[in-house]
A = this chain, B = another copy of it.
Amino acid sequence: MLKLSTKGQYGVRAMFEIARGYNLGPITIKQISENQDVSVSYLEQILNQLRKAGIIKSVKGPGGGYVLARSPEEISIGAILRELEGPVAITSCLDPKEGCMRVEGCVTHLLWKSLGEKIETFLDNMTLDDLLKGSGFVEITRAGRRNKKGNDKAVAAG
């Protein structure tokens, strides 16, 4: 129960990839796709949505790709998911778009509302930076990140 769709999951993983190289310039969709094992086409949809929301920025042309719009500690998982999946709404009753008839009779209203708030608090307090730290990842080089096309010597040598 209470599953998150793959869109949200992939979105967070993609954001993680972008955050990894925060100070190394843009990362391409293709790179993200390869590192996180998600199709380029699907990522296009997801990243486009995040770009429109101002969470990431895109750079066109050769050498282009995606970059965080703010630093990793300023981007919460909650913000990412809210953009891709709408607000937490355990019941459609609690979705701001729909509203609740039977307001009086709905004994469980408070229950779901309360749970939803707990979840949002959790997600809003968790940032990409927390994710980076939790991943056991310390630092990477550009070569290290873009090492799929046989130029991984830099890594092996390092």
Cα distance A108–B135 when bound, in Å? Answer: 8
Q: Are A77 and B111 in contact, with the CB atoms below 8 A?
A: yes
Q: Are A119 and B108 in contact, with the CB atoms below 8 A?
A: no
Is residue A47 contacting chain B, with contact meaning CB distance below 8 A?
no
Given that A2-B119, A118-B122 are known contacts, is A13 also in contact with B88, CB under 8 Å in the complex?
Answer: no
Is residue A61 contacting chain B, with contact meaning CB distance below 8 A?
no
Contacts of A43 in B (CB 8 A): none
Cα distance A12–B1 when bound, in Å? Answer: 14
| Interface segment out of the listed A3-11, A24-32, A66-74, A150-158 | A3-11
User: Smallest distance from the beta carbon of A85 to chain B beta carbons, Å?
Assistant: 3
Report how many residues on chain A are interfacial, defined by Cβ distance under 8 Å. 40
Is residue A131 contacting chain B, with contact meaning CB distance below 8 A?
yes
Is residue A134 contacting chain B, with contact meaning CB distance below 8 A?
yes
Contacts of A102 in B (CB 8 A): 37
- Residues of chain A having any CB pair with chain B under 8 Å: 1-5, 8-9, 12-13, 16, 37, 77, 81-82, 84-92, 102, 107-108, 110-112, 115-116, 118-119, 122-123, 126, 131, 134-135, 137
Besides A3-B91, A12-B111, 6 more A-B contacts (Cβ < 8 Å) are A2-B4, A2-B85, A2-B119, A107-B135, A111-B134, A115-B123
